[in-house]
Amino acid sequence: MITEGDLCYFYLKFIPLRNLITALLFFIGTAESAVAQKDPLNHEMIFVEGGTFQMGSSSGESDEKPVHSVTVSAFNIGKYEVTQAQWTAVMGNNPSSFSGCEDCPVERVSWNDVQDFIRKLNAQTGKNYRLPTEAEWEYAAKGGKSSKGYTYSGSNDLNSVAWNIDNSGRKTHAVGGKQANELGVCDMTGNVWEWCSDWYGTYNSYSETNPTGASSVQHRVLRGGSWNASAYYCRTADRNGGNPDIRYYYYGFRLVLPVEDESKSEIQTETIKTDEEPLTYVEQDAEYPGGSAALYKFISENLVYPEDAVENEIEGRIFVKFVVDIDGIAKEFEIEQGLTGGQSLERAALDVCKKFPKFRPAMQNGKPVRSYFRLPIKFEL
């Protein structure tokens, strides 16, 4: 027969075990919200099924109009904003104003800083992380195909999904501390404004598929609001823009990983493996069939000059940067350097570049690799 004394003895003898079990249960219960990762180079991604949605808002600012139909292909987006720990692991420093919180989003990073981070991260991981386009960002923030039409990302109750000016204590907070949206993505509203890949500009009125933004060369897109933003600026349709060199203590970012990378990343890394670190991108030109003369001939024969450029006699050079994949396909186009007042010319340059036939991919150690391509297109009207 077990007496009361026996129970007391058992309880006291196994207090250390009880404490261990309690600690383990606590850890298991909170592991979902804890985002400090063993491998800070590994970014937890959420799959977003492609689809069509209405981008913009008819009741917001003028830059959110017109509301228009946009179709995006499937992609993977970071479940969380990139943290201070993840930034430090890649860059070796922490620029954040609210430092000392490894699981808080990194901030005080410019768009250009983020590009350096992505290049280094990709070189270390063999993957092809990038910033989301503005369309991808809004589609994911609104919940993709699972959207319930909320005003904020995941709810009509701002405080349940976002650290904002009313509840943040005027600082950032550890990512994942608020309710996720319909896709399981956290903090797309509040905490820090998030850089997108696009140049900031006006919306088109027509339907688009995988748009890459305006051809402006002044500001890059920022979305989502921050710890310092009121409810109005935390709406999923709200837009902001910033100089790509500027750093603020409420500017951060999250990453996108193309869907094909998830299935091919291990194969690609093995394919291009060298004696040193795996290299996914190299800054060398792929070869265009027929050489540079054929490349420029293709541009001259296919480029349609916009009327406003002709009327204003705009001339100069536009630099288009893009990637040539290992299969020779050119993609991920962006204007790296443009013309004052030449936005329509920049759009025309992007359009003609997207029509390129296949390149011969750059080679490294006898094997094809992805490469950056910086192409100057000269205009003399």
Name which residue leads in pLDDT, 161 or 36.
161
- State the Cα–Cα distance between residues 282 and 363, nearest whole angstrom: 9
Q: Quick one: pLDDT at residue 295?
A: 86
Q: Quick one: pLDDT at residue 310?
A: 77
Q: Quick one: pLDDT at residue 283?
A: 53
Q: Quick one: pLDDT at residue 78?
A: 96
284 falls in which pLDDT band (50, 70, 90)?
Answer: low
Chain Cα centroid distance, residue 267: 23
Mean pLDDT of 44-60: 94
Name which residue leads in pLDDT, 211 or 29.
211
Q: Quick one: pLDDT at residue 82?
A: 98
Q: Which residues of 181-217 are buried (b: 16+ CB within 10 A; e: fewer)?
A: bbbebbbbbbbbbbbbbbbbbebeeeebeebbbbbbb
Residue 213 has pLDDT above 70, yes or no: yes
- Using DSSP's 3-state secondary structure scheme, residue 253 falls into coil
Its pTM stands at 0.63
pLDDT one-digit tens code per residue, 325-346: 888 899 888 887 777 777 788 8
Q: Which residues of 248-281 are buried (b: 16+ CB within 10 A; e: fewer)?
A: bbbbbbbbbbbbebeeebeebeeebeeeeebbbb
Q: Quick one: pLDDT at residue 263?
A: 38
Q: Single out the residue of 356, 362, 296 nearest to residue 331, CA to CA.
A: 356
- Sheet arrangement for strand 68-72: 51-55, 68-72, 208-209
135 falls in which pLDDT band (50, 70, 90)?
Answer: very high
112's tokens: 């250009």
SS (HEC) of 281-304: EECCCCECCCHHHHHHHHHHHHCC
Q: Single out the residue of 92, 94, 86 nearest to residue 125, CA to CA.
A: 86
- State the Cα–Cα distance between residues 375 and 295, nearest whole angstrom: 10
pLDDT one-digit tens code per residue, 261-280: 443 333 232 222 333 333 33
Instruction: Look over the chain and give the mean of its residue pLDDT values, rounded to a whole number.
Output: 83
- State the Cα–Cα distance between residues 56 and 308, nearest whole angstrom: 27
Q: Single out the residue of 316, 315, 328 nearest to residue 373, CA to CA.
A: 328
pLDDT one-digit tens code per residue, 244-256: 999 999 999 999 9
CATH code that applies to domain 272-379: 3.30.2420
Mean pLDDT of 51-68: 95
Residue 128 has pLDDT above 60, yes or no: yes
Cα 213 to Cα 28, 105, 201, distances in angstroms: 42, 25, 7
Contact (Cβ atoms closer than 8 angstroms) between residue 235 and residue 221: no
Contact (Cβ atoms closer than 8 angstroms) between residue 174 and residue 103: yes
Contact (Cβ atoms closer than 8 angstroms) between residue 189 and residue 225: yes
Residue 282 has pLDDT above 90, yes or no: no
45-259 CATH fold: paralog of FGE (formylglycine-generating enzyme) (3.90.1580)
Lowest mean pLDDT among 19-28, 127-136, 316-325: 19-28
- Give 3-state DSSP helix, strand, coil % of the chain, rounded to 5: 30, 20, 50
Task: Report the residue count for the chain.
Answer: 381
Specify which of 33-42, 124-133, 170-179 reaches the highest per-range mean pLDDT: 170-179
- Using DSSP's 3-state secondary structure scheme, residue 93 falls into coil
260 falls in which pLDDT band (50, 70, 90)?
Answer: low
